[in-house]
Chain A
Amino acid sequence: GAVVSQHPSRVICKSGTSVKIECRSLDFQATTMFWYRQFPKQSLMLMATSNEGSKATYEQGVEKDKFLINHASLTLSTLTVTSAHPEDSSFYICSANGLAGSTDTQYFGPGTRLTVL
């Protein structure tokens, strides 16, 4: 149980285009999902917390108009990188709250590697 999928796994796009990344909890419902970004050889950076049916909560320094998050159902959250630029190239990973035994924890999707040319 507690499987999280992400699509696409890899995307290459031209500068100025928008890219949508989907995050799905496959066998459980997730009222809260998280979006992270990770640059090469650096640690995970939380971008935003996505809450089903309400607005996402963005971390300081993350532009909400550039990284649009929609969490329309209990199993799907999307992240849209608008007007992508080469500096947006990164590994984007989502996670969803699930249970490990009786403990609330996070399960991660396999990530999306974005390359902006």
Chain B
Amino acid sequence: RKEVEQDPGPFNVPEGATVAFNCTYNNSASQSFFWYRQDCRKEPKLLMSVYSSGNEDGRFTAQLNRASQYISLLIRDSKLSDSATYLCVVKGGQGFSFIFGKGTRLLVKP
């Protein structure tokens, strides 16, 4: 099993739809979790950190399920500009590496 796994997609959704991605990880000692967004031919950019209590930033909600070892990202009221690849990132404790998932591609269509 890969350390961090994501459904590569693409997820094709209409504008205004709600879409959710999951990401599973296999290291139960992982401590930090993030979602990054990467546009075509650009660098990844931090979208949000994922806290144990879950967190929300506008239309984006991230949640962590430690028992089942997955994190999720929910996007409400999708915009055309949300089209991108969403990378799940997991990190162990101090001194551990960041592990990137291969990304989930989202296409929001008019």
B91 at the interface (CB under 8 A from A): yes
With a CB–CB cut-off of 8 A, which chain A residues contact B34?
A: 100, 105
A107 at the interface (CB under 8 A from B): yes
A60 at the interface (CB under 8 A from B): no
- Chain B contact surface mostly: strand
By the criterion of a CB under 8 Å from any partner CB, how many residues of chain A are at the interface? 19
Q: Contacts A43-B102, A43-B103, A44-B100; is A104 near B42 (CB within 8 Å)?
A: no
B54 at the interface (CB under 8 A from A): no
A28 at the interface (CB under 8 A from B): no
Report whether B97 and A103 are in contact in the complex, using a CB–CB cutoff of 8 Å.
Answer: no
Query: Which residues 20-48 in A have Cβ within 8 Å of B in the complex?
Result: 34, 43-44, 46
- Chain A contact surface mostly: strand
Which one of B32, B46, B87 has the greatest number of beta carbons of chain A within 10 Å?
B46
A61 at the interface (CB under 8 A from B): no
Report whether B49 and A103 are in contact in the complex, using a CB–CB cutoff of 8 Å.
Answer: yes
A46 to B4, CA, bound (A): 14
Report the nearest B residue to A6, measured CB to CB: B43
A75 to B30, CA, bound (A): 28
Q: Contacts A93-B43, A100-B49, A111-B42; is A106 near B32 (CB within 8 Å)?
A: no
B residues in contact (CB < 8 Å) with A: 32, 34, 41-46, 49, 87, 89, 91, 94, 97-98, 100-103
A residues in contact (CB < 8 Å) with B: 34, 43-44, 46, 49, 91, 93, 100-101, 103-111, 113
